[in-house]
Amino acid sequence: MFTGLVQTTGTVAALDSGRLTVDAAHPLDLSEGGSVAVSGVCLTAASVGECGFEADVVDETLRRTSLGALRAGDAVNVELALRAGEPLGGHMV
């Protein structure tokens, strides 16, 4: 579940062969297999670094969302999933 509150911004480092690589502006509390929304599209982190992550994106997602138009250097919003016990602070999405 997401609240709609953006935790940080990022830059698309690459989108090649269904793998999206995002360099985040700030360190993320994210681990492999964790949910992350990129400009409102929920994805699963396939690999995570200190300030970035990679996620697999299937063709259908690329066709039906704004992710298909992304290019290296584009700015994106990054939102982490709400964890149990955290305050909502926004609204349910």
Domains of the chain: 8-80 (2.40.30.20)
- CA 84 to chain CA mean position, Å: 19
H runs (alpha helix) in 27-86: 59-64
- Using an 8 Å Cβ cutoff, are 4 and 15 in contact? no
What tokens appear for 9 in the block? 């911004």
pLDDT score recorded for residue 80: 87
Ordered mean pLDDT values, 10 residues apiece, the chain (93 residues): 70 96 92 94 95 96 96 95 58 55
